[in-house]
Structure 1
């Protein structure tokens, strides 16, 4: 099976910026809330709230890639999915967490959305039309995101990210 992670990580990192220490972003704080803990920031999408002991400012691209492979690609089982679903799940997991992104994927393929990829989910993904997976996954994702309290602040960027992912999906099918 082809390892799609190297090309997908470049896509993912194109969505993520360099170092940011925006005080209004809860992800930049080690406590996960604005003003909670230390303001350590986010770099390459790796945030202080998820990695509170990591030197975010000193993080290298190679270190970020290793984190993404271990903590997202492998943890979300993206390597076991068709490429079109793998990238969508990876990007959603980075943006909203593995469990939430897995739920979107499960809803997209019509199985119980327990947030864990098992044999039932894998079989449903294999049986589904890849185009339908992408469209339904992103519909679930966008619907979820518009309900978040910080949609007014971050929504435009999230919507652009999802639009870019739909363009990527056209090349993955």
Structure 2
């Protein structure tokens, strides 16, 4: 449904995800990608299982390679291409911050479905018929409710709240 939205979503994400830092909770992170995520998605950037993936590999991650990982590890895993335009972008941004399963779970909750985090026919069909702007707003309200319970909310609260507000507005504008 919305694969054409990915380049725009990736461009917006490229503006919000920073360069290297050692996150006290998530560990070494570059462009929103943790060392573990890079190891799990190494094939997306042409690395084999035999290739060592170290902090140096992470620090050298280009935006082009980050976009490949964002696509394979987040956009595809959260089934964003099966969602209406606007909703796809909002789900993608949640997937980057909290993982694809949490993104799908929050989407399902916003749609009034059983929130198991598994994207299936029921989620897809309900999303296809939903009021997209209202669902985006509900889902991002649920996102904030989830985020305030995270142990790293306090030091990140201002930036994360701004990000959610911006994503909500941008996603609704796309819808």
Shorter-normalised TM-score: what interval? 0.7 to 0.9
User: Are 2:62 and 1:60 equivalent residues in the alignment?
Assistant: yes
Unaligned residue ranges in structure 1 (runs of 5+): 29-40
Does structure 2 retain, via aligned residues, the 8 Å contact 1:13–1:45? no
- Cα 1:147/1:26, change in 2 over 3 Å: closer
Which of 27, 38, 46 does residue 51 from structure 1 map onto? 38
Which of 140, 143, 148 does residue 142 from structure 2 map onto? 140
State the Cα distance separating 1:26 from its structure 2 match.
2.3
Match of 1:17, SS?
coil
CA distance in 1, matches of 2:26, 2:19: 14
State the Cα distance separating 1:99 from its structure 2 match.
0.8
State the Cα distance separating 1:163 from its structure 2 match.
0.9
Which of 14, 17, 42 does residue 29 from structure 2 map onto? 42
CA distance in 1, matches of 2:22, 2:11: 23
Q: TM-score, normalization: structure 2?
A: 0.85
User: Are 2:166 and 1:164 equivalent residues in the alignment?
Assistant: yes
1:17 is aligned to 18
Does structure 1 retain, via aligned residues, the 8 Å contact 2:30–2:61? yes
Does structure 2 retain, via aligned residues, the 8 Å contact 1:72–1:93? yes
Unaligned residue ranges in structure 2 (runs of 5+): 40-52
CA distance in 2, matches of 1:21, 1:14: 19
CA RMSD of aligned residues (A): 1.4
Q: TM-score, normalization: structure 1?
A: 0.86
Match of 1:21, SS?
strand
User: Are 2:56 and 1:69 equivalent residues in the alignment?
Assistant: no
CA distance in 2, matches of 1:122, 1:5: 18
Does structure 2 retain, via aligned residues, the 8 Å contact 1:102–1:116? yes
Does structure 2 retain, via aligned residues, the 8 Å contact 1:89–1:105? yes
Which of 122, 129, 134 does residue 127 from structure 1 map onto? 129
Aligned length in residues? 159
Does structure 2 retain, via aligned residues, the 8 Å contact 1:103–1:115? yes
CA distance in 2, matches of 1:139, 1:21: 28
State the Cα distance separating 1:50 from its structure 2 match.
2.7
CA distance in 2, matches of 1:149, 1:71: 24
Does structure 1 retain, via aligned residues, the 8 Å contact 2:19–2:30? yes
1:26 is aligned to 25
CA distance in 2, matches of 1:75, 1:150: 24
